[in-house]
Each structure stands twice: as structure tokens, then as C-alpha cells.
Structure 1
Amino acid sequence: MIYLLLIINLLTIIFFGWDKKLAIQYKRRIPENTLLGLTCVGGTGGAIVGMLIFRHKISKKSFLLKFSGVVLIQGFLILCYLKFFRFLV
């Protein structure tokens, strides 16, 4: 499971960097839904690192709002998961 998360996060960083490169070259971009999808399936850390390293999508408020929503939902689901298993133990 850890290896899968590492791969997803690395892939997310690569996608954010690739999208930044495409943006600089005025070429067709990676859809925001793809970037958010990678974030949603476990690439949150990679997305944050990619946004900071490449200075990409950090000033686009609509993207940051969607990104924050994904992170909040993930946090809520993790909290529910932990509370559920704590109840069982």
C-alpha cells in the first residue's frame, strides 16, 4: 500500500510539472480534472509538492477551491475511517 501511494504521489508531481511545461510552451494542457483526480486517489502530497516546486496552479483561485475541497473530503474520510476502527477495537 505504501508503494502504491508513493507511485501515485510521484506521478502527481510529474503531471503537475508536465502541465507547467505545457503552459509555458502555450500547448494543449492536462485537464484540471486529471490533476484533481490524481490528488483524489492519494496524490495529495505530490500535488502540494508539485504546486510549490513548479509554482503551478497556486494563483488560480478556482483550482485552489476545488483542490481544498478534495483535501477536506479526504480528511473527513480518514477521520471517519479512524473513528470507525477505534470503535471496533
Structure 2
Amino acid sequence: METSFIILMYLLLVNLIGFYLMWADKRKAKKDAFRIPEKTLFTIAVIGGSIGSIAGMYRFRHKTKHSSFTIGMPLILLIQIYVLIRFLLPLYALN
């Protein structure tokens, strides 16, 4: 299996998980149930799910009043884009 395909499938999966976790945590908040730890939400974003997490955050209007999320999630995404452009794309250009 091609490495690019595996990476794309991984990113799709982790972003779907990030989106789902935002929905699930919002639902739990409404029901006053046990919540998903913020550390978990940020971990999913850091391992590649930042786009899904941001999309879920705004789609479900969840954590949008927390500056740690409104600043932190986009910052994580910007760092990921930088790493992609700076380090990974040059590797593909060599092939």
C-alpha cells in the first residue's frame, strides 16, 4: 500500500474522531454528564485531527468561548501546516 494513501486515511480518521469528540462532549455538557477531558481534545488535534476538531468546535458551537480553544486549535493547525511545508513536502519533491 502506498505511504501517501496510508497517511491520508490516517488523517481522515483522526479528523473524523476530532469532529465526533466535539459533538460528543457538547452532548455530554447539555446532559450534565461526565465530560471528555480537554487534554484528550487537544491530543487528538495535535496528532493530526486539528481540522476536524476546529470544524466540530464551530459546527456545534462548543468551546468557542474558551480562548485556549479558539487560539490553541488554529495555532496547532498552523504549526502542522508549517511542518508539512517545511519538512515533509521537500521529501516528496526529491522523489
Same fold per TM (> 0.5)?
Answer: yes
Query: What are the equivalent positions in structure 2 for 1:73-84 lying under 5 Å apart?
Result: 73-82=79-88, 84=90
User: Could you tell which deviates more after superposition, 57-66 or 27-36?
Assistant: 57-66
Gaps of 5+ in 1: none
Structure 2: gaps (5+ residues): 1-5
How well do the aligned residues superpose, as a CA RMSD in angstroms? 2.0
Matched-pair identity in %: 34
Alignment of 1:57-76 (within 5 A): 57-76=63-82
Q: Normalising to structure 2: TM-score of the pair?
A: 0.77
Correspondence for 1:11: 17
Is residue 41 of structure 2 the alignment partner of residue 35 of structure 1?
yes
Aligned length: 89
